[in-house]
Chains A and B, each alone.
Chain A
Amino acid sequence: MKKKLISLISTVLLVSSGFAAWAAGTPNSSIIHIALTAPITGDYAEYGNNFKHSVEMAIDEINANGGVLNKKFELSVGDSKGDPKESAMLAQKWTSDSTIVAQIGDFTSTCCMAAQPIYNRAGMIQLSPTASHTKFASGSKWSFSVYGSQYWEQPVMAALAVDKLKFKNMALLYINNDWGVDTQKSFKENFEKRGGKIVATESYFQGETDFNAVLTKLKEFKPDALFLATMYNDGALISKQREKMSWNLPVIGASALYSPQLIQLGGTAVNGIYSNVSFFAKDPDPRIQAYVSTFEKKFGNTPNFAAALAYDCVYILADAIKRAGSVDRNAVRDALASSKDFKGLAGSITFTAERNAIKTYKPVQVINGEFQLVE
């Protein structure tokens, strides 16, 4: 009963605020109003705040440089708390405000997908920095994700393995779930295309802690190197057990290995492991350094990949508006969809027909207990 009452009241408030906004007037010609949906509080607050800080920073920069089409950006921020219901409510709010051109957010795929039908019906861009579910962007012509997919990672890793590291025979170890199977397959295809040979493939199920048997078996095939399609925690465990077996060989893996936790858990055993990232805070690229240092100065923490992706969202949106030459929602959507080789902080972005980003990735390696870019 209480719940019903609350949702009734909030609907009334939403609708009336929508009217208020509508009454407040037709688009002000000198601003570009955009909305951000992010988990500012709750379990994902760290990411939500990274979103918010980055988006505010990007907007300030653009406005300081004269804006786009002689208009300044204006931002409205909504806290979804990581709750799909909240995310959908915010979608109602944004779509009922005719001044809003586009929405950036939300953080989780679940939240994005809960809000998706609302943006779709209203015809408003829903640009998510981090929604990784492949079915998200393809679900509506108004939905975009700049996150990319592991599918675009593996060409980079295969090139690294064959061209730079000169591996010929490799062994694969993957976690037996959708993600692990796809990642492993994608690496194998790319590696074989370049003339490499996979000599052994093994898998394990979620929750396994004993990798001695699998490693012992893989070792028998005497591969040049090992590819891991695993999360960082399993990756650390595997590396420790491999070290104990005194089996020393180069290891490369998916971007899921890229986490400070890998080094914390794996210690010396993970030294030398290769992974890849789309955004790397210590990248010497001056644009990235400028971003990271400003961010650190303003907010006191190093921006993570979610922050960089949110930052890219603002700029790719600004770019689309410029190319569309107007703030008409349809024109901006079409321009956004045709973005090509957009140079973001977290890799360049080209959208597929299903509005998922094809991205570029940079190989990294653990050297002396720290990730470093591979030249």
Chain B
Amino acid sequence: MFLQQLINGIAQGSLFALIAISFSLVWGLLRMVNFAMGELYMLGAYAGWLVVMHVTPNLGVALFAGFMVGWIVGWLIEKVAFKAMRGVPHIASLVCTIGFSFFLKETASTLFGAETKSMPSYYSQTAFTIAEANISWLQVLMVAVAIIMMVLLQLLFYRTKVGLAVRAVALDYRTASLMGMKVDRVTSLAFSLSGALVGFVGVLAAIYYNAVNAGMGFVPAIKGFTAAVFGGITSIPGAILGGYLLGAIENLSVKFMSSGYRDFVSFLILIIFLLFRPNGILGKKTKL
């Protein structure tokens, strides 16, 4: 069953890793945490759910809808909580994202009702079985999609001018602006992208767990943030590593102790780890 837990951990880790990337992006650009990340995830999930229930059962369209909703709401949050608050102490922006978190959650539960919505299953058949461990097609798909997303991001950041601008702004926005880069535009773009990414993950999660509700983003957002810190929040490869490690540790720890303690265990490991490596696994070695 060790193998099965590892597989579960990798599947879950894919979700954590993508959320962690979003936190890293925002942190890199603004040295800030977006507390509404979980709600972007939730809105993405609702978007995917609406598509699947009312438009088309096509999973690709659902994922795209989650991506777009995350993008748009992310863009809005950046405009209100960060752009409009420039020059105001940082804490105001943080509080503003907390406000968004509540607002979006309340809006969703008013709009869609407080009950959990059921999401149809996709690809839930077993793909293959290794030593009693079952791997479903959905798990394969999730990991594949997550990896494709990460590769695309890597290409975006390292092979395009936009990506170069994002990295430059993240490293030193003053110098970047001297190079003629429009810091505001780049920041807004990357922030929207981070929202889109979690919106996309929300749809994946909705399918994986077959459920959508207004409160669904809270725990994953905390886990994603933890993964980012664990891996080294200034680095995207770190965020990815952190996500998969956290997924694996959480699921494997269940094997050795009561599952009620699994969050506790992963946070304990994190805290101990950070005492010795305050900058995370990859830490300052790599940036975005």
Contacts and interface: CB of A to CB of B under 8 A. Distances in A.
Q: Does A touch B (CB under 8 Å) in the complex?
A: yes
Interface of A: 176, 201-205, 207-210, 212-214, 216-217, 219-220, 233, 236-237, 240-241, 243-246, 261, 264-267
Contacts of B263: 205
Interface of B is mostly: helix
Interface string B143-163: 000000000000000000000
A244 B124 contact: yes
Contacts of A266: 118
A241 B251 CA distance: 15
Interface stretch (B85-93, B209-217, B269-277): B209-217
For the complex of A and B, 3 pairs with smallest distance between CB atoms? A203-B260, A212-B8, A213-B254
Given A205-B260, A209-B216, A216 B210 contact: no
Contacts of B210: 237, 240-241, 265
Contacts of A246: 126, 134
Contact of A202 (B118, B251, B258): B258
Interface in B1-30: 1, 4-5, 8-9, 11-12
Contact of B259 (A204, A233, A244): A204
B205 A216 contact: no
Interface string B114-140: 011110010010100000001010100
A212 B255 CA distance: 12
Contacts of B117: 265
Contacts of A204: 259-260
Contacts of A214: 254, 259
B218 interface: yes
B215 A261 contact: no
Contacts of B116: 233, 236-237, 261, 265
Contacts of A203: 258-260
9 contacts: A207-B218, A208-B219, A213-B254, A216-B8, A217-B5, A217-B254, A240-B211, A244-B121, A261-B115
B78 interface: no
A198 B12 CA distance: 29
Contacts of A217: 1, 5, 254-255, 259
A241 B209 contact: yes
A178 to B, nearest CB: 14
B79 interface: no
Nearest to A264: B118
A160 B219 CA distance: 36
Interface of A is mostly: helix
Interface string B261-285: 0110000000000000000000000
B39 interface: no
A219 B254 CA distance: 12
Interface string B194-217: 000000000001000111010110
A212 B118 contact: no
A209 B219 contact: yes
A205 B218 CA distance: 12
A213 B261 CA distance: 12
Given A216-B251, A240-B121, A265-B211, 11 more contacts: A202-B260, A205-B263, A212-B251, A213-B262, A216-B5, A217-B254, A217-B259, A236-B116, A240-B210, A244-B124, A264-B118
Contacts of B115: 233, 261
Nearest to A232: B116
Contacts, number: 88
Nearest to A231: B116
B209 A213 contact: no
A240 B126 CA distance: 14
Contacts of A244: 121, 124, 136, 138
Contacts of B5: 213, 216-217
A246 B136 CA distance: 10
A245 B251 CA distance: 15
Contacts of A212: 8, 11-12, 251
B118 A267 contact: yes
Contacts of B136: 244
A214 B9 CA distance: 12
B36 to A, nearest CB: 17
B259 A202 contact: yes
Nearest to B15: A210
B255 A209 contact: no
A233 B211 contact: yes
Nearest to B219: A207
A226 B44 CA distance: 33
A209 B205 contact: yes
Contacts of B258: 201-203
Contacts of A209: 205, 209, 211, 216, 219-220
A243 B251 CA distance: 19
A205 B116 CA distance: 17
Nearest to A218: B259
A261 B115 CA distance: 8
A245 B134 contact: yes
A210 B260 contact: no
A265 B118 contact: yes
Nearest to B256: A217
Contact of B215 (A207, A210, A237, A240): A207
Nearest to B1: A220
B200 to A, nearest CB: 17
B209 A210 contact: yes
A216 B219 contact: no
Contacts of A264: 118
A176 B218 contact: no
Contacts of B4: 216
B209 A176 contact: no
A245 to B, nearest CB: 6
B29 to A, nearest CB: 29
Contacts of A265: 116-118, 210-211
A220 B138 CA distance: 23
A210 B12 contact: yes
A356 B46 CA distance: 42
Nearest to A266: B118
B245 to A, nearest CB: 15
